[in-house]
Amino acid sequence: MAQGSRTMISATIIQDKGELPEPITNGAVTSYFKNDKTYVYSFGGIDSTLKSSGIHLRCYRINANDPSDFIRLNDIPDTLGKIALSATRIGSKAYIVGGYHVFPNGKEASSKLVHEFDLIGDTFTSKKIELPLATDDHVQGQWNDSLLYVVNGWSDSTNVRYTQVYNPQSNTWLIGTALPNSMTPAFGATGNIIGNEIYIHGGARADRNFFPAMSNYYRGKIDPLNPHNIAWTKYSVEDSNTSYRSALYSLNPSGEYFVIGGSNRSYNYDGIDYQLKTLVAPLKNKLRLGYNSGDVRDFELVFGDSVEFPMDIRDWTNINYQNYIEYIVPGSTIDIFNIDASMFLIGGINEDGTVSNKIISISNAWLTSINSKEKKTRIDFFPNPITSDLNVYYEQYNPSEVRIFSIEGTELLKLTKNLSLISIDLSHLGAGIYLFVDSENQIIKKLIKK
């Protein structure tokens, strides 16, 4: 790709990347970029049986772009299989935290163990780390690539209210500010740390007979000078906007955050509703979390393949690339999407109750010009947004071919421009976002169709 100025058009690319070594759900996930490859790591979880006997300690390293390229790693160094654990990368180490065991007699116990994994050597270290309080089904994230936060979750018989903060350098813990009494702690919530803020949505609360899913949306402001101090804020949201074991998509640079996958009802590790005793269905819609307010509402991701997100997304992983990763748009001979960040979901439970063996990627991408020369002419587009006809005016006449593409790269229309002013009938296209491309004049324009 020749170097030159970028024409920045953002997009979200959703892909089914391929098959895992085995169906997996309710395990821990992280990722690492090394040797020019993106690797996704899977730790523990439950297999396709969805039975307690299928809970395991198996671990894999998988090439995210070629899942047939994988290796079986050493098992998690524990005595029993674990589910509802989470993994977070800090530097070149991953920290696999908590989870719970299910014993042969059906009893459950939360784990205090934290396992440090060396992502360069692909092996567990001998470092001894234990949580102050045994925890599973929590929200986990890193702050400033230096501290690990374990937020809320479940401990043996009740929800956890406070945050456990780990410093890998000193191998010490601090107890972070607890949720105030006006906020209900949850297990199975989705969340992440973005900048200096902790985002938490949904989860389930402890109840006398079952564990109802919640719609709560909390944000915690981390004090950079005293990172264990957290100022919590509660937002009022619609009761119907519940989520359980979902993922928080936060790659969009505009500051929008989405709850995707998971379900709107809580369930046991076998996918059966705690209250209704029936199979839970995955959450179809996506919820958008308001950035400057507590607004939470249904929202459909408009870009990408028709990929169905599973439920039981216990953990997921985000990776930011130091350099753009080139991705050729399928079905297109034009420019390249350059991916600067990706999110990976592995496994989960499908709508029919089977355990997924898929890797799904959600990538933040920019459409960029492959030619370094400057644009030859200025053009005007009107109207934009479009209802039916698009009018395009060229300041200087220059014959060229014009193409209209879907955002995924499918060519929808091609015509030859022989006039300075052209009118293109787009009435047959549905509402959405499209690309106007004139390669000769080095023009790429994002179009919005109402």
Distance CA 419, CA 391 (A): 12
Nearest to 253 by CA among 320, 304, 197: 320
Tokens of 444: 């790429």
- For range 200-222, the mean pLDDT: 91
* 417 and 314 housed in the same domain: no
Does residue 273 sit within a domain?
yes
The answer to whether 205 and 215 have CB atoms below 8 angstroms apart is no
Radius of gyration of the chain (CA): 24
Domain match, 230 and 358 both = yes
pLDDT mean over 348-358: 96
> In the predicted model, what is the mean pLDDT of residues 378-400?
83
Note the pTM of the prediction, 2 decimals. Answer: 0.79
Q: Residue 376: is its pLDDT beyond 70?
A: no
Q: Are 134 and 182 in the same domain? A: yes
User: CATH number for the domain including 430?
Assistant: 2.60.40.2550
Pairing of strands 286-289, 257-260: antiparallel
Q: Is residue 229 scored above 60 in pLDDT?
A: yes
Mean pLDDT of all residues in 115-129: 98
Residue 138 lies in a domain: yes
Within a domain: 373: no
* Judgement on whether residues 402 and 305 belong to the same structural domain of the protein: no
Last residue of a domain, one of 326, 342, 368: 368
% of the chain surpassing 90 pLDDT: 58
Q: Is the pLDDT of residue 249 over 80?
A: yes
Q: Does residue 335 lie in a domain region?
A: yes
Tell me the pLDDT tens digit for each residue of 64-94. 989 999 999 999 999 999 999 999 999 999 9
The confidence band for 442, taking pLDDT boundaries of 50, 70 and 90, is low
Q: Which residues contact 10 (CB under 8 A, 6 or more apart)?
A: 252, 253, 364, 365, 366, 367
When mean pLDDT is compared over 143-157, 285-299, 406-420, 428-442, the highest value belongs to 143-157
Q: What is the pLDDT of residue 210?
A: 85
Confidence class of residue 247 from pLDDT cuts 50, 70 and 90? very high
Query: Residue 10: exposed, middle, or buried by beta-carbon count in 10 A (0-12, 13-18, 19+)?
Result: middle
Answer for the pair 89, 32: CB distance below 8 angstroms, yes or no.
yes
Residues 348 and 432 in one domain: no
Structural domain boundaries enclosing 389: 379-449
Q: Is the dihedral of CA 68, 73, 75, 77 positive or negative?
A: negative
DSSP H or E run through 38: strand 37-46
Residues 183 and 270 in one domain: yes
What one-character-per-residue DSSP string does 336-386 give? Answer: EEEEEEEEEEE--B-TTSPBP-EEEEEEEEEEE-S--SPPS--EEEESSSB
Q: Report pLDDT for 323.
A: 58
Q: Are residues 95 and 203 in the same domain?
A: yes
4 in any annotated domain: no
Do 333 and 405 share a domain, yes or no?
no
pLDDT for 375 beyond 50 = no
One-letter amino acid identity for 53?
Answer: S
CA distance 256 to 251: 8
Cα–Cα distance between 269 and 84 in angstroms, integer? 9
Residue 1 lies in a domain: no
CB atoms within 10 A of CB 176: 21
The answer on pLDDT for 240 being more than 60 is yes
- 308 in the same domain as 391: no
Residue 422 structure tokens:
């052209």
Same domain for 172 and 139: yes
Q: Which CATH number belongs to the domain containing residue 171 in this structure?
A: 2.120.10.80
Q: What is the DSSP string of 96-144?
A: EE--EEE-TTS-EEE--EEEEEETTTTEE----EE-SS--BS-EEEEET
pLDDT of residue 373: 37
Domain limit, last residue, from 318, 342, 368 = 368
- Give the total number of structural domains in the chain: 2
Last residue of a domain, one of 308, 339, 368: 368
Do 296 and 220 have their domain in common? yes
- Asked if residue 410 and residue 319 are part of one domain, the reply reads no
Please report which confidence band the pLDDT of residue 327 belongs to, taking 50, 70 and 90 as the band edges: low
